Amino acid sequence: MVSNQPYVGYQEAVIRYVLPSSFYIDAIGPRAAYIPSMEILLDNFAKWMRYSRLNAEKLASENLSHPSR
């Protein structure tokens, strides 16, 4: 997945949440050409953390339903 900063982490977390856990995902992007506002940084960080938590819950649910993994 290719994106740009400061969105790479958040967008990678969303893609990991949407696609099955069997997909290998790697995210890259160039550094930011400018320093975004604090509002943009905090908004993206909050969304990144939200989807990271959702991903963890999704993986835990998958592991409970498939204990042989």
Query: Residues 22-35: pLDDT tens digits?
Result: 899 999 999 888 88
Task: Please state whether the predicted TM-score (pTM) of the whole model is above 0.75.
Answer: yes
Structure-block tokens of residue 9: 């982490």
Q: What are the residue ranges in the chain where pLDDT is below 70? A: 66-69
Q: Quick check: helix, strand or coil at residue 28?
A: strand
The pLDDT of residue 69: 52
Q: Is there a contact between 15 and 47 (Cβ–Cβ < 8 Å)?
A: no
